[in-house]
């Protein structure tokens, strides 16, 4: 299965990253509380530019998405008022494992890993490689802070946005987005989401199945 496979096993459609419509807002419990593993802080020392910037970033991108998919991840943006949550597929709830929560606590299912800062770059590499092509990525490296910067496509009828990735211990730990609709910094925390975060997923799944089952 390609790396851009759906994070939820149903086949309905793509919901835009961190701009999804809400499905439900209650927060049921019932799963043991597990504290996410804090992500390392972005590196702040001067770092020499890699010999091949794209190859270096490719490894980082794949490692980040692999870790998020295997261990779970929580990504928060807009000053922590919105978040994207993914649990491992092995622990999926009724075949679903990812959800978006808006500033009002309303939850909606996420269908593709493109919606996660930890995965959107690796998906681009994977799609190009599956097609036997070179990933057309205009990528720069900043030696002052070790960040990688590129421009990502938002899809039809939307302008691309500039994405700046902060890296620590070989993983993407922060993504700054500068788009026509505004900008935000997304903080990435790898590890199993908390019981409260998993509850949002359960709520969204139950609401979706009630409406479409």
Strands 98-101, 107-109: pairing is: antiparallel
Domain-located, residue 10: no
| CA separation for the pair 186, 83 (Å, rounded) | 9
Domain-located, residue 3: no
Name the domain count of the chain.
1
Domain-located, residue 34: no
What CATH code is carried by the domain that includes residue 131? 2.50.20
Predicted confidence at residue 180, as pLDDT, reads 86
Give the pLDDT of the chain (213 residues) as one tens digit per residue.
444 443 443 333 333 334 333 333 333 334 444 455 555 555 445 677 887 999 999 999 999 999 999 999 999 998 888 999 999 999 999 999 999 999 999 999 999 998 999 999 999 999 999 999 998 888 999 999 999 999 877 667 778 889 999 999 999 999 999 988 889 999 999 999 999 999 999 999 999 999 997
Domain-located, residue 176: yes
CA 32 vs. chain centroid, Å, equals: 24
| CA separation for the pair 152, 6 (Å, rounded) | 19
Q: What is the token pair recorded at 118?
A: 């930890």
| CA separation for the pair 208, 131 (Å, rounded) | 34
Predicted confidence at residue 160, as pLDDT, reads 83
What residue numbers bound the domain in which 185 lies?
A: 53-212
Q: What is the token pair recorded at 11?
A: 């086949």
Domain-located, residue 5: no
| CA separation for the pair 20, 107 (Å, rounded) | 9
How crowded is the C-beta side of 99, counted as CA atoms within 13 Å? 31
Place of tokens 């949002």: 200
Predicted confidence at residue 42, as pLDDT, reads 54
Domain-located, residue 146: yes
Domain-located, residue 119: yes
Domain-located, residue 25: no
Predicted confidence at residue 154, as pLDDT, reads 66
Predicted confidence at residue 36, as pLDDT, reads 54
| Residue 199 CB neighbour total at 10 angstroms | 20
DSSP string, the chain: --TT-BSSSS---PPPTT-PPP-B------S---PPPPPPPPP-S--PPPSSHHHHHHHHHHHHHHHHHHH-EEEEETTTTEEEEE--GGG-BTTB-EEEE-TTS-EEE--BGGGSTTTHHHHHHHHHHHTT-------EEETTTTEEEEEE---TTS--EEEEEEEETTEEEEEEEEETTEEEEEEEEESPPPHHHHHHHHHHHHHHHHHH-
């Amino acid at each position: 299965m390609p790396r851009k496979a759906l994070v939820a096993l149903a086949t309905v459609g793509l919901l835009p990253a961190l701009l999804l419509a809400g499905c439900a807002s209650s927060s049921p419990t019932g799963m043991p509380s597990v504290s996410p593993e804090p992500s390392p802080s972005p590196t702040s020392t001067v770092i020499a530019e890699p010999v091949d910037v794209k190859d270096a970033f490719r490894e980082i991108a794949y490692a980040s998405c692999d870790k998020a998919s295997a261990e779970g991840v929580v990504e928060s943006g807009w000053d922590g008022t919105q978040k994207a949550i993914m649990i491992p597929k092995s622990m999926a709830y009724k075949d679903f494992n990812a959800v978006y929560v808006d500033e009002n606590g309303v939850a909606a299912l996420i269908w593709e890993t493109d919606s996660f800062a930890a995965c959107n770059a690796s998906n681009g590499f994977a799609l190009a490689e599956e097609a036997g092509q070179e990933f057309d990525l205009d990528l720069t490296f900043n030696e002052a802070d070790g960040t990688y910067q590129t421009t990502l496509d938002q899809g039809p009828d939307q302008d691309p946005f500039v994405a700046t990735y902060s890296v620590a211990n070989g993983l993407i730990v922060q993504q700054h987005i500068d788009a026509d609709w505004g900008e935000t910094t997304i903080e990435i925390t790898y590890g199993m989401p908390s019981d409260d975060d998993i509850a949002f997923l359960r709520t969204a799944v139950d609401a979706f199945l009630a409406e479409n089952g």
